[in-house]
Structure 1
Amino acid sequence: MDYQFQVMNQQQAEEIAYNWHYEGIYAFYDMESDPEDLAEFIDSEKRGESCYAVIENQTLIGFLSVSRVDTTTVEIGLGMKPELTGHGQGLSFVQACIEWTRKQHAPKTIMLSVATFNQRAVKVYEKAGFQPVETYIQETNGGHYPFLKMKKIFEK
């Protein structure tokens, strides 16, 4: 897959926020499910240059957010276009996000968090080399939900 990464523009943010709707239990990831997350995502100043559109063949197919935790660690958040999930493309997407993050930010460790019910994503992250760190409760979408923090450490 040939993915390009670019700082997310307002049109792309609004496309994801208002038009990407996931099926079934994965509707949990709809941006409109959490008003605070939605407001932060569509605010270009809050988004800054830490959120990237992932483009394939001139089509928006995903997003990646990167935030520095400390001098050696970054935390990422990512999402794929709903129509593309569940069709075997997740691992190549995650690997591309990891590779791009390493080139741009040179971390020794990448962290991410995923809702524990999303075993489909957990399995993809494990195949990409992430290891579970801890489970914690996060307030989001009007409730409290268990999340799994995962990390991938790079040998240099």
Structure 2
Amino acid sequence: MNTYDKPLFSINEMTREAAESISNWTYEYPYELYSMDGSEEIISALLKEGYYLVTFTEVPYFGYFCLGEEARVPGGYEAGIYLPNETHVIDLGLGIHPEWTGKGYGPAFMASILQWIRSNREVSDVRLVVAAFNERAIRLYKKAGFVRHDLFYTRVGAADIPFISMVRPASKI
């Protein structure tokens, strides 16, 4: 993809139709831990406050992101990543439709989300958590100004999976 061919992303509230579609996204190995099962539980989670739909002209359900507690990974609590009454950091969770991953859209997708945060939230550090094996995402986050912080484990299915917390300081937002 040419640098000048980046799509113009649009960010909107999550809709039921979008949540139903996103809840059925499945990823190939080694990213399958990000797959969803289409259950009503997943759809309900995607419809909670703090979830947003990311679209562009050609793709109505390109991706999504969430902010706040919904973005947190359970093992991060035990590891002390998340502290009570934190006000200086916004937690960010995100996903791109499986058909669009690895095709060069990540930087524009991330830039759109960070711009939205800058425009719609009090400026704070932004924290995200990524599976330690997901080198493609880690590279993207580093290029977007995130700095690697803590390594911790969380249970996914029957396995304990290593995750990394990364923070982008407010000064870089």
Task: Say whether the 8 Å CA contact 1:52–1:63 is kept in structure 2.
Answer: yes
| Unaligned segments of structure 2, at least 5 residues | 1-6, 70-84
Task: Say whether the 8 Å CA contact 1:40–1:47 is kept in structure 2.
Answer: no
Q: Secondary structure, in 3 states, of the residue corresponding to 2:114?
A: helix
1:64 corresponds to which residue? 65
Deviations 1:101-153 (A, max 9, x none): 12111232000000001000000000000000100001223321000000000
1:22 corresponds to which residue? 27
Task: Say whether the 8 Å CA contact 2:27–2:34 is kept in structure 1.
Answer: yes
Q: Secondary structure, in 3 states, of the residue corresponding to 1:48?
A: coil
* Higher strand proportion: 1
Task: Say whether the 8 Å CA contact 1:113–1:147 is kept in structure 2.
Answer: yes
- Percent of aligned pairs with the same amino acid: 29
2:126 corresponds to which residue? 110
Q: Give the alignment of 1:37-76 within 5 angstroms.
A: 40-43=41-44, 47-57=47-57, 59-67=60-68, 70-76=86-92
Q: Give the alignment of 1:113-132 within 5 angstroms.
A: 113-132=129-148
Quote the Cα distance in structure 2 between the aligned partners of 1:101 and 1:127. Answer: 17
Quote the Cα distance in structure 2 between the aligned partners of 1:31 and 1:154. Answer: 32
* Higher helix proportion: 1
Is residue 2 of structure 2 the alignment partner of residue 13 of structure 1?
A: no
RMSD: 2.1
Is residue 145 of structure 2 the alignment partner of residue 140 of structure 1?
A: no
Quote the Cα distance in structure 2 between the aligned partners of 1:124 and 1:77. Answer: 14
Q: Aligned AA for 1:86? A: G
Count matched residues: 150
| Unaligned segments of structure 1, at least 5 residues | none
- Pair 39,102 (structure 1): closer, same or farther in 2 beyond 3 Å: farther
Q: Secondary structure, in 3 states, of the residue corresponding to 1:22?
A: coil
Would you identify which runs of 4 or more consecutive aligned residues in structure 1 move more than 3 Å?
38-41
